[in-house]
Structures are given as C-alpha cells and as structure tokens.
Structure 1
Amino acid sequence: MISHPRHRAGLDALAARDRLRARAPAVGLDFASNDYLGLAGSDLLKQAALDALNRGVPVGSSGSRLLRGNHPEHEALEQEAAAFFGAEAALFIGGGFQANHALFSALPMQGDLVLYDALIHASAHDGMRLGRAETRAFAHNDVAAAEAEILSWRAEGGTGRVWLAVESLYSMEGDLAPLDQFSELARRHDAVLVVDEAHATGLFGPMGAGRALALLHDPNLLTLHTCGKGLGAAGALICGDAVLIETLVNKARPFIFATAPSPLNAAIVRASLAALRHRPDIRERAWTRIAHAHAEAKRLCGLNGFESQILPVRIGADGAAVAVARTLQSRGYDVRAVRPPTVPKGTARLRISLTGAADQAAVTGLFETLSDVGSAYL
C-alpha cells in the first residue's frame, strides 16, 4: 500500500508535466546562483568571519531579538545599512522571504490598497495574503496601468493609503523597472513606494546601494535589500522611515516570533557593505563580465535585449528546457531550467546568471555550447 496516496498522485502529476522539483547538487561552473559579485566563498568574507569570531561574536543568537537574541552586531549593521542605503532606519531580518512577509502583512492597514507588479516575488504575494489591505495587480512595468488601478480604486470608494510595490530588477525576466516613473506616480497619489532591490543590491546604484538610491528619499519610500545574493551572506534589510521600521518591530510576526539572525552573519554583512564602499573593483569586474556575456549571447546565439546580470533564455516547453539545462550541466556549465508556476505557462526558460565564478573564457564557452545544444529552441 502506498503511503499518502493523494500526495503521491500529486507528485506523479508534476513529474508527468516535467515540473517535479528536486534538490540538485552544484555541478560545474556557477551560472545558476545569485552570487553576483563572487563574495559568498571569497577570502574577504572568510576573513571577516574569522575576525568576528576572534573578537567574540557568537555564531548563534539564541532567541528572538525581542527577548535575548538582540546583539550589538545586529544594531551596528542596521545603523551602517541605513546610512549606506540612504534611509532613516533599517531592520535586519532572517531573509528576503521573511522580510516580504513582514512588510506586507504588518504595514498596509485595513482600508488600504497594495498595488503590485504582476511579476513581483512570491514572498510578497504570501505577505499580502496575511495582511488586511485590499490587493490588486497591474501589468508588468506598466506605469499607466498602475495609475488606472489607483484611479479605479478611488472611484469605487477607496479612501486609504496606496502601497505601490515593485522590484527594481526582476529575477526571472532580468529587466529593470522604470523607477523614476513609479516614484513620480507614488508622489502624485501620496502612495508608499515599496522597492524590492533583492537582485540589484551590490551591482546597481552608487557603490552597489541599489537603483532606488537615486530617488527622492522621503517617508514614503521603503526598500528591501537581501543579503544572500550580491552581498554573499544571508538575511535581509528593510530600509525606510523610522516610524515604519518601529512598526515592523512591534507588529511583524516574522520578526517578533523568529529566532534572530546569527550575529556572526550580521558581522559578515557589515564586511560586505564595507567592501562595496571601499573596493569598486569588485563591481567593476562584475560589470565587465556582464557586458561580455551580453555581447557573446548576441554574437554566438543571436540573443539580445538583456539589461542585467540575469539572462533569461526562453525555451517554451517544460521538458525541452529541462533537457537543454541537463545537457549544459553535462558539459560543465551549471544552468538551471525555470518552469511554471514560477514563470507563466509556455515560457519555461534557462535562467543564466552571471556570477563571480566564471571568467570571460567560461562565459564564451557557455554560449558556444548553448549555440550547439540549444539551437533548435533559440
């Protein structure tokens, strides 16, 4: 007798549609992770960890930050992050998923509207489901559509505050939001602009402080910066007006009831931010690699239109995307297939990520191989 037959049937159905997920080990050169600056395994962060341990920073926090888990490293990081990201205050939390849960469940109030880009992170959707505000989506990167939704909501009697939620760089499309236009839209309607900088932090903006740093910073701007991607560590930072940050401390369940992030990890994130301040060569190498990849994708595969370190290559069918990815992995290039429901049906793709693990020769080799094994789909 099969244990849990309904769950088994569900897994079998996913497998039949080429959508069964698995914990796959790293293979070959890294073109799959979010380690955009190559900091995760760097000597720089290893030394930062050793230095922190030597000065007595503990590995574990032992409890919630509202009990005994708060540590001077957490507070030092928050002060430094607020200054680095141009905000009044910052809150360090366990990860980007928890941060979006916290933000969208605790800040928008009953009677408010959360208006979000249709391609925003899944964690934002989960946070909104836990919140009390009404939610509406608008077409990806479409400022006019977003304004039409605001006007429609007001015409229907909406009187609360609008929270306009976008990502500065989208993780599966690799494209950039028109932040200047969204910022102006937020000002016209006295909306709070929430900018998820998860995939931009470390690469974009002055010193890698993100694309939102160029916007007018006022109480109506909140930014989210994950620490496990470009910064090479773990955790996340929510940055904005001190009243909103204090509200999260008092009302956000993912912060209140979670064990605090490791103080050691906070010390490592501090070192990442210091490196971005004082080592412009780290970002310069990344951008050289990105420019080379854009050029080689066009030259060898006829692919163009990329805007960032994330190069989505649409294949279409789920099974075909998996097959091409596996062939690339067998040739030494760790590229992963992304399938629905992470992306829309019929748009299964390779998500090529430019990380610190690959030099220019490896990038050229990847696109030469893709041209060979994926030519039927490109």
Structure 2
Amino acid sequence: MGFPRHAQVLQTLKERGRHRQLMARAGHDFSSNDYLGLAGDDVLRKAAAEALARGVPVGAGGSRLLRGNDAEHQLLESEAATFFGTEAALFMGGGFTANQAIFSTLPGQGDLVLHDALIHASTHDGMRLGRAETRAFAHNDADDAAAQLRKWREAGGRGQVWIAVEAVYSMDGDLAPLAALKALADAEGAVLVVDEAHSTGVFGDLGRGLGHDIAAAPNVLSLHTCGKALGVSGALICGPAVLIETLVNKARSFIFATAPSPLNAALVRAALRELADNPERRDRAWQGIRHAWAEAGRLCGLARFQSQILPVIIGDDKRTMAAAAQLQARGHDIRGIRPPTVPRGTSRLRISITLNTPAPVITAMFTDLAEILKEAP
C-alpha cells in the first residue's frame, strides 16, 4: 500500500526539523528524569533480589479487580499514603495513565476543569475522555485562574471545579504558585489536583513533593510518578479516600488494565524507604542543581532557574536540534525539545541535572554550551 499520506506527514516533519526518532543512550546524563540516581543504584538492585527471594511475582496475571491484586500493591498503597500524608493512595501503571484516569473519571458533566495553559499532555487526554467543561488559565497565574473561574460562574457554571496544575513544569522547570491556587480552591469550593511528577523526591520534606504541606487537605489530590526520581515506574494517586475508591470503581484505565508488576510495587516501596532513610541523597542532588545554576550563569549568562530542569530556549527547531547534536558529539546527552511538546517558537534544550552526573562534568558541559550558544544564541 505504501501509506503515502503517512509518508508525506513524516517528510513534512523532516523538512520542518520536527522529525523524531529513537536514540540509544550515550554520553553523560543531562536528559533523564532519574533525579536521585536511583534507577541504576544498588539500593534497588538489592531490593529486587530480596523481593524475588521472598517470592514476589514478576507479573500480576490480571487486573487488580480480578486476580491481579497482590499484597505488594496494597502494602505500597498503605505506605505511600502514610509517606505522603494522605487518606489513601492508588498504584497505577504510569503517570500518563494515572492522569487519564483522574480527569476522565472524577470531573463529571457540568463540572469545570480549570487547567494551567502548560499542563501535561496526559491531562489533556484525560480531559478529552471526560465530560466536564475545560478552560485554560495563563501559566502560573493564579489571578487569571480566578478570573476564568469567575467568567465560568457568570456564564451559568454551577458544578464542581477542579484546578489542574503541575508542581514543577517538565519543560520549563518553574514552580506552580501552590499557596495562591490552594487559597483559590478553598474560596471557591474547588479541588486542587497537583501533578508532582517532577517534584517528588526533589522538593518538600524528605522529597514528599512541593505541595506536601497541603497534601492532606480534603480538597487536594496529588499524583506522584514512580519513574522519575523514584527510579522505577508507575504512579501513585494520593488523596481523599472517597476519590481513590471512585477511581477503583469507575476509572476505565484502572479497571480494564493488567495490574502493574508486584515486583515493581516492591521496588517503589524500597525507593520510598530510601527517601525516608537517606535524606543525604536529596541534599547531594541539590548541591548539583545549585552548582548547575551557578555555572549556567557564570559561563552562559543564563539565570532564573528554579529546579533541576534548566530550559535553554533557542526558538528555531532546526537550530535547536543542531545545538543538541553538537553537545551530543562532545559527550553530553542533551535532547532538543520541539513543538508540539512546547509552544511554537520556543524550541529548547532541556537540561536535566541528576545525581548521575558529577560537578566537573556539569562545568564541562556548560563550557561547551557557551561556545555553541555563541553560534546559535
């Protein structure tokens, strides 16, 4: 058949500098989300060996509501609720699936999902599957969120409002104004849904997340992914027990999916124990992050970073990918990010600082980046 329509789409992507392809890992890690260096650490290797030795299954064998519900799943959910300070928790196969479950299930017809303009694609997919009305507010602007909510009310909106934000934004690395958004949620009787994906393990007491101090509130629902700083995979939805039970009973991506591996649940339990027992790991991560901020400013004139994610916006798609290729050729695994992942005209290098990369390598990378930016500012 040839599939000419699909071939033409791919050719157009190539011409615009937006064609994507899989690349093998190579060079120093400046692109992963393994912020605490746990993914390849002996802590998790040992936990895996111990779990297998005590008979934890590798596969679940079915959905959680059939025979796939393992003791490791339930132990993890109990321990996660305690660690993150919430009534209950639900273990899902991944953050994308978890966000789909939340926004396709909990907001109902007549409700409003009020979301940050830069909210993750998984939230958009969940909203498309749901029945609630949706409105965006300007990025990290609590005043605009209030204004959009007021307009909705004035137009006759009377349902439950769900405010959806990321704690740390995955492509900009900036922090949500959670205090202001929580105040808005309280004033309007809204539910604040906080995606802690890039915050878990890095922010908050013992790495409990940027919104840890509000997580126990009855109008807050938090999502903690397990495949980033925790070094494993999966996701934990944490919040009021009634919302967790609703997901168990109504979320299609939970009901009809094979349960996550029990072995994986055992490894997430080990990762949470590591956060609680070894706060020095998080301290070392922040030493590297602050070192990166300082070197980015000293060598490249880049400033105003807030997290372990350092975006270097170049703008043009092809120039961005050329800069990434130059850095990769010098041994730095940095990837170019283009639309639709980021808004048009904001293609960037997304630099991620993890415990996998020591300070001298960070300095060397910014030295090389400074030379490249002179050619592609």
Secondary structure, in 3 states, of the residue corresponding to 1:255?
helix
Letter of the 1:190 partner, please give it.
Answer: G
Query: How far does residue 84 in structure 1 lie from its aligned partner after superposition?
Result: 0.7
Given that 2:87 and 2:216 are in contact with CA atoms closer than 8 Å, whether structure 1 keeps it comes out as no
- 1:92-171 matches, cutoff 5 A: 92-171=91-170
Moved more, 257-266 or 207-216: 207-216
Find the counterpart in structure 2 of residue 23 from structure 1: 22
Over the aligned positions, Cα root-mean-square deviation in angstroms equals 0.8
CA–CA distance in structure 2, aligned partners of residues 335 and 218 of structure 1: 39
- 1:69-88 matches, cutoff 5 A: 69-88=68-87
Given that 2:84 and 2:215 are in contact with CA atoms closer than 8 Å, whether structure 1 keeps it comes out as no
Secondary structure, in 3 states, of the residue corresponding to 2:90?
strand
Superposed CA offset, 1:231-288 (max 9, x none) = 0000000000000000000000110011100000000000000000010111011000
Given that 2:113 and 2:162 are in contact with CA atoms closer than 8 Å, whether structure 1 keeps it comes out as yes
CA–CA distance in structure 1, aligned partners of residues 233 and 24 of structure 2: 19
CA–CA distance in structure 1, aligned partners of residues 72 and 112 of structure 2: 36
CA–CA distance in structure 2, aligned partners of residues 181 and 375 of structure 1: 39
Find the counterpart in structure 1 of residue 326 from structure 2: 327
Secondary structure, in 3 states, of the residue corresponding to 2:305?
coil
Letter of the 1:377 partner, please give it.
Answer: A
Given that 2:86 and 2:215 are in contact with CA atoms closer than 8 Å, whether structure 1 keeps it comes out as no
CA–CA distance in structure 2, aligned partners of residues 203 and 58 of structure 1: 30
Query: How far does residue 373 in structure 1 lie from its aligned partner after superposition?
Result: 1.8
Say how many residue pairs are matched.
Answer: 377
Find the counterpart in structure 1 of residue 206 from structure 2: 207
Moved more, 217-226 or 230-239: 217-226
CA–CA distance in structure 2, aligned partners of residues 346 and 57 of structure 1: 49
Query: How far does residue 216 in structure 1 lie from its aligned partner after superposition?
Result: 6.4
Query: How far does residue 27 in structure 1 lie from its aligned partner after superposition?
Result: 1.1
Secondary structure, in 3 states, of the residue corresponding to 2:14?
helix
Query: How far does residue 228 in structure 1 lie from its aligned partner after superposition?
Result: 0.1
Find the counterpart in structure 2 of residue 221 from structure 1: 220
Find the counterpart in structure 1 of residue 234 from structure 2: 235
Find the counterpart in structure 1 of residue 244 from structure 2: 245
- 1:221-300 matches, cutoff 5 A: 221-300=220-299
Find the counterpart in structure 2 of residue 46 from structure 1: 45
Find the counterpart in structure 2 of residue 365 from structure 1: 364
Query: How far does residue 218 in structure 1 lie from its aligned partner after superposition?
Result: 2.2
Secondary structure, in 3 states, of the residue corresponding to 2:131?
coil
Query: How far does residue 123 in structure 1 lie from its aligned partner after superposition?
Result: 0.3
CA–CA distance in structure 2, aligned partners of residues 78 and 370 of structure 1: 43
Q: Per the alignment, do residues 260 and 3 of structure 1 end up closer, same or farther by CA in structure 2, a change over 3 Å counting?
A: same
Query: How far does residue 217 in structure 1 lie from its aligned partner after superposition?
Result: 2.5
Find the counterpart in structure 2 of residue 354 from structure 1: 353
Percent of aligned pairs sharing the same letter: 62
Q: Which runs of 5+ in 1 are unaligned?
A: none
Secondary structure, in 3 states, of the residue corresponding to 2:375?
coil
CA–CA distance in structure 2, aligned partners of residues 283 and 85 of structure 1: 16
Letter of the 1:144 partner, please give it.
Answer: D
Superposed CA offset, 1:309-347 (max 9, x none) = 000000110000000101100100000000011111111
Secondary structure, in 3 states, of the residue corresponding to 1:346?
coil
CA–CA distance in structure 2, aligned partners of residues 136 and 193 of structure 1: 15
Secondary structure, in 3 states, of the residue corresponding to 2:237?
strand
CA–CA distance in structure 1, aligned partners of residues 112 and 232 of structure 2: 33
Letter of the 2:99 partner, please give it.
Answer: N
Superposed CA offset, 1:290-322 (max 9, x none) = 000000000000000000000000011000000
Secondary structure, in 3 states, of the residue corresponding to 1:239?
strand
Query: How far does residue 377 in structure 1 lie from its aligned partner after superposition?
Result: 2.9
Secondary structure, in 3 states, of the residue corresponding to 1:237?
strand
Given that 2:316 and 2:347 are in contact with CA atoms closer than 8 Å, whether structure 1 keeps it comes out as yes
Find the counterpart in structure 2 of residue 63 from structure 1: 62
Given that 2:313 and 2:349 are in contact with CA atoms closer than 8 Å, whether structure 1 keeps it comes out as yes
Letter of the 2:117 partner, please give it.
Answer: A
Runs of 4+ in structure 1 off by over 4 angstroms are none
Given that 2:285 and 2:355 are in contact with CA atoms closer than 8 Å, whether structure 1 keeps it comes out as yes
Letter of the 1:143 partner, please give it.
Answer: A
1:172 paired with 2:171, answer yes
Secondary structure, in 3 states, of the residue corresponding to 1:81?
helix
Find the counterpart in structure 1 of residue 317 from structure 2: 318
Query: How far does residue 372 in structure 1 lie from its aligned partner after superposition?
Result: 1.1
CA–CA distance in structure 1, aligned partners of residues 343 and 375 of structure 2: 21
Find the counterpart in structure 1 of residue 307 from structure 2: 308
Letter of the 1:326 partner, please give it.
Answer: A
Secondary structure, in 3 states, of the residue corresponding to 1:323?
helix
1:342 paired with 2:328, answer no
Moved more, 208-217 or 297-306: 208-217
CA–CA distance in structure 2, aligned partners of residues 94 and 216 of structure 1: 22
State the TM-score, normalizing by the size of structure 2.
0.99
CA–CA distance in structure 1, aligned partners of residues 199 and 354 of structure 2: 13
Secondary structure, in 3 states, of the residue corresponding to 1:312?
strand
CA–CA distance in structure 2, aligned partners of residues 48 and 315 of structure 1: 42
Given that 2:288 and 2:353 are in contact with CA atoms closer than 8 Å, whether structure 1 keeps it comes out as yes
CA–CA distance in structure 1, aligned partners of residues 211 and 367 of structure 2: 36
Letter of the 1:61 partner, please give it.
Answer: A
CA–CA distance in structure 2, aligned partners of residues 179 and 57 of structure 1: 39
Secondary structure, in 3 states, of the residue corresponding to 2:22?
coil
Secondary structure, in 3 states, of the residue corresponding to 2:351?
strand
